Structure 1
Amino acid sequence: MFEAWVLIPLAPFLLAGLAIWTRHQSKMAEKYGHLPKGISEDTDRMREEMQYLKDRVATLEKIATDGRESRLLEDEIEKLRDR
């Protein structure tokens, strides 16, 4: 008959293996985007907000650098450089 006490010396090795496997699974989940549901929703919301802000900054940059005002600004900069 099988004696359970034989498993006691193997317990540290089994626990270490479980810890290594769990850590590996966690790293793979982070790397490939398989995060828990709440974290994933927050991440998606932040990505959408970040894209919105990037688009807005691009629009503001375009407004600041396009048109007649930018030529006037360039002329002012050149006048200051010539001093």
Structure 2
Amino acid sequence: MPYILISTQIRLEVGPTMVGDEHSDPNLMSFLGAMKRNMLGNHFWEYYVNDAPRVVLNKLESCGYRVVSMTGVGQTLVWCLHKE
């Protein structure tokens, strides 16, 4: 999968960082040290790490990912990355 989204809440800029969903590449999630969880009330699973987004972005860059866009959505920061 060449695209990945990561996000964090503005009040949690030092982590945790959401790094994937239940369909994400398990090898990449393992590399990031991500844990899979299901938040109460959600019907889906997500991967997260306790690292700050900056740390996650550095790890993804070392794997060949580049930031395509970044935005704020309400109280959430979202980065879209692509790997060629």
Greater helix share, structure number: 1
Query: Normalising by structure 2, what TM-score?
Result: 0.22
In our comparison, the structure showing a higher alpha carbon Rg is 1
Query: Normalising by structure 1, what TM-score?
Result: 0.22
Greater strand share, structure number: 2
